Structures are given as C-alpha cells and as structure tokens.
Amino acid sequence: MYFPLQLRLTLFYALLLGLALWIFGSTVYSQAEQQVYLNLDNTLSSRAASVRLGKDLLSNQNSTNLPFALPSVDGLGSGGVSIEVLDNQLHLLATTTNTSNEGIQTGVAGLGDSPVPWDKQAAQWILQHPFSNNGNANSLYSTITYHGQRIRVYTLMNNDSGAGHIIQTARSEQNIKQSLSDLSLLLWRGGALLIILALSGGWLISWSVLSRVKHITKTARKISASRDISQRVPEKSRFGRDELTSLASTFNVMLASLDKVYQRQRRFVADASHELRAPITSIRCNLDLLAKAPDLPPEEAQAALIDARAEADRMGRLVNDLLVIARSDEAAQDVKSNGYRKNVNSAPTIDLDSLILDVYRQYKQTTLGDNVEIRQQGPRLMLQDITPAKVYGDADQLKQVLVALIDNALKYTPYEGFVTLSLTTDKRNAVIKVSDTGIGILPDDLPHIFERFYRADRARSRDRGGSGLGLTIVQNIVQEHGGNIEVESTPGRGSTFILNLPRASELN
C-alpha cells in the first residue's frame, strides 16, 4: 500500500500532539473543576459558620414572627448564597430573602415552603446524626436539582443554643458550570488551533525536505535514463544548510567522480584505438605495397617486411601493455576495497637489493630486448648505496617496474650521460631511486606523465617505441604493493624517479 512519507510523518506528529494536548487539557480541566468546587464548598461552609456565630440568630430565636429575615444574614446572602435556619422540627426560623424576587416563594416542591431552595433530606439526615465521629457538630454537602439548575447545599447542625438548629447554605452551580464550559471551550479551541498550526508547520517542513528528496530522485532517474553524468542536483536550500545539503553535495561528488571515471574510460578507449590504428595502417600500407608491386627490388621488399614486422611488434607490445593495465585496474579495485595489507601474509618476501643487482647485471651483460645496442654505446648505468631491504610482493612485477624506469632513463638520456640506481631505507620504507642526467621533463608535463598514453613529446616517444603506458603500469604496480612513486626533474639536467615501498617488517 502506498502511504506517502509526508502524510505518515504529519499524521504521526498530529496524533502525538493531539494526545499530549488532550492529556494536558483534561488535567487542567479536572484541576480547575476540583478547585472551583472546593471554593464553592468553602464559601458555603464559611457562610454557614458566619450564621452560626451571628448574634441575631440567637437573640431572635424566640420571636413569634417566624420566619424572620436576618438583616446580617441577609447581607451574607449576597454573591448568590442563600441561607436558611431551621429548628429541629424543620420549621423555618430564618432565611435570606430571594433578593431578585423579593417575597415570592421559591421553595423546592416537596421540600417545604422557603423563599430559597433547601434540602429536606439532608436536614432530616443531619437531625438523625447531629454529631460527627469526633463529637463535633455534624455537617453534610449535597446537590439538588432546582428548576433545572444544580444547586450545591451545605447542611450544618448547630447545637450552640441548646435546642438544635439546622443551618443550610446553598448556591447554584450555574456560574461554575458556565465557567467550566468556557474553560473547556477555550481548551478545545486552543488545542485545535495548536494542532492546525503544528500540522501546517510539520507539513511545510516535511514538504520542504521531501520535495528536495524527490528532486534528487528525479535527477538520478534522469541521469540513468539519459546516461548524462554531467548533470548535478541542486545543493542550496531556501532554509539554509542541513543534512540534505550534505546528501546532495555527496551525491554530486559521487556524480563528479563517476563522470571523471567515465570520461577517462572514454578517453582511454579512444586513445587505445588511436594507438592501434597507426601500426595497423603501417602494416596495411606495407602489405599493399608488396601486393601491388610484385616486381619490387628485393631490398625494398625486405625493408617493407621489416617495417611491417616492427609495427606488428609494437602493436603486440601495446596490446600486452593494455592487458597489464586492465589486470592491474582490477587489482587496484581489490586493493581499494580490501587493502594490500590484508593479503600481505600470503605475499612472499623479496630481497630488493638482490633484485636490483639482478636487473643491473642483466643490463650490463646481456641483451634485454631492443635496447641492447643503445645500452652498449649509450649512457652509463651505475649503482650507488645499495642497502639491504626486504619488501612483500611479486618479484616479477617489481622487476618490471625497474626495467621500465631504467629503460625510460636510458631512452631519454644522451649517450654521454649517466643513469644511477640506488636503494636506501628509512623508518618505514625501502627507497629506490632511478636518476638520469637526461633531457628532463617540463614542469607542465610533470603532473601528467603517469596518465595513460601521456607522452611529453609524442613524436620522439613513438620513435623510441614508447606508447605512453609504461609509467601508468609502473604506478599501478607500486600502488598495489602499498607504495608510491614520485618524480623530480629539471629540464635539460635530468630526472629522478623515487619509489617508496613499505618494508616487510613495517607491514606486520
């Protein structure tokens, strides 16, 4: 069942608020009710006590002109309290007159004649129980209905003069009922107003939040439909910064990095196709030449074949490099999600010093691929400060790194120059340096040389068999080994590539 979050939040909020208001309102109402009834009872009992102490009652008790209106008592009758004094035969001795309807009998039907309402039952009960448990004059509160009105009556036994008197004070609950119903109306209206305000506030806030969530959802949907990762979700909110702003900006950062990866991937595919196209074209041209000109002089035919072969080799190397990069991309993903150190125990320990010496010897004595001639006549390769150091990792891959760096150094250094290898250690790392006194790298090129297919001097690099993938592979391998590679270079004076690899003891 679809139940929108905004409605759910608002309803829950309203329900909670309603409940809280209801508890608050009913507590206030019952406290107020209790208080006004207590006040009423206090008023009635204090009026009765005043009558009991009144001198007029005692001095006039033998008068034959009954019932008489007690002037002082009459005074007490103001404020809506009516008073009457009865003897022990329930004859009316004194009463307040009904001030608004002077002289008119207002007695309760069946209760006897009196200008004011009185409670005969309560009077009879008090006659039967004149004393309370502790021996004092007994008293009683009761409620009667008179002309549709509820009247509160207080009945008190007065034994002060010897013969028992009953004093009854009464007051209509009409005013109280009115004030209580006013209070309840006020509470209901106030509560309703609060709920409406809270509901509209809650609705507005949840709308402002959810509309942005909807916006983000819409943008995400649009992106997945159009595959256009350049779109961004709005980060700014009318209500300032909040959690959604950071969600939106995180979302945008994610989009930006996806966009970057996507662009990089596209550029990579374009570059790879471009790089492959050149040798294919060259091979095709050479083959066409051989096919179309069968009477080509043998030396030219031979040259065409050698050229085609060289291009095929170049293409082979390129495809090989691409495969290595694809594999190391996968491994880099693994390193990112698991970390190199997790697999460290399974990786063998390598003596870096022996590895460097091995590579050095190979360069010195034997042929290593195509560069043998360059090396025989080319720049001098030297060793410097070889400190013993162990690292965890793959010896073949680390050898590949060294060969790539030395190859580059030899490639970009004039014949009379030097290439130096060194291995030192610091607290954490084994530090390999491959320095040359070659052409150096321009500051503008320096930040890009590890990018795929980047070549500072395209034409020269290609002439020397470079594809622009060598340093990318080097960097990938070094990172897989938990290390990093830096380069320092001065154009015209030479470059130094510095490899930092965590030492075996440091990894544990």
Q: Which residues bind ligand ADP (CB under 6 A)?
A: 408-409, 412, 436, 438-441, 449, 454-457, 461, 466-472, 495
* Helix (H), strand (E) at residue 176: helix 174-226
Of 138 and 371, CB closest to ligand ADP:
371
Cβ 194 vs Cβ 21: under 8 Å: yes
Q: Which amino acid is at 187?
A: L
Cβ 311 vs Cβ 296: under 8 Å: no
Cβ 292 to ligand ADP shortest distance, Å: 33
Cβ 219 vs Cβ 235: under 8 Å: no
CA distance 132 to 113: 28
Cβ 395 to ligand ADP shortest distance, Å: 21
Of 67 and 438, CB closest to ligand ADP:
438
CA distance 117 to 139: 18
Choose among 392, 414, 410, 412: nearest CA to 402: 410
Tell me the CB-side half-sphere exposure of residue 174, using CA atoms within 13 A. Answer: 11
Of 63 and 273, CB closest to ligand ADP:
273
Of 80 and 414, CB closest to ligand ADP:
414
Cβ 323 to ligand ADP shortest distance, Å: 16
Cβ 368 to ligand ADP shortest distance, Å: 15
Cβ 435 to ligand ADP shortest distance, Å: 9
Task: For the chain, count helices (H), then strands (E).
Answer: 13, 12
Of 54 and 438, CB closest to ligand ADP:
438
Cα 61 to the center of its chain, rounded Å: 85
CA distance 308 to 283: 5
Of 107 and 468, CB closest to ligand ADP:
468
Cβ 473 to ligand ADP shortest distance, Å: 8
Of 248 and 456, CB closest to ligand ADP:
456
Cβ 268 vs Cβ 235: under 8 Å: no
Q: Tally the residues of the chain.
A: 508
Cβ 239 to ligand ADP shortest distance, Å: 51
Of 28 and 498, CB closest to ligand ADP:
498
Of 408 and 420, CB closest to ligand ADP:
408
- CA atoms 389, 391, 396, 402: torsion sign: negative
CA distance 223 to 232: 9
Of 452 and 481, CB closest to ligand ADP:
452
Choose among 232, 235, 238: nearest CA to 248: 235
Cβ-Cβ contacts under 8 Å for 169 (sequence gap 6 or more): 44, 45, 47, 48, 51, 81, 82, 83, 153, 154, 156
Choose among 258, 268, 265, 267: nearest CA to 230: 258
Cβ 424 to ligand ADP shortest distance, Å: 20
Of 299 and 416, CB closest to ligand ADP:
416
Cβ 352 to ligand ADP shortest distance, Å: 21
Cβ 369 to ligand ADP shortest distance, Å: 13
φ and ψ of 163, to 5 deg? -75, 140
CA distance 325 to 275: 15
Question: In Å, how far are 45, 61, 148, 158, 254 from 54, measured between CA atoms?
Answer: 14, 12, 32, 12, 92
CA distance 4 to 13: 14
Cβ 404 to ligand ADP shortest distance, Å: 6
Cβ 461 vs Cβ 455: under 8 Å: yes
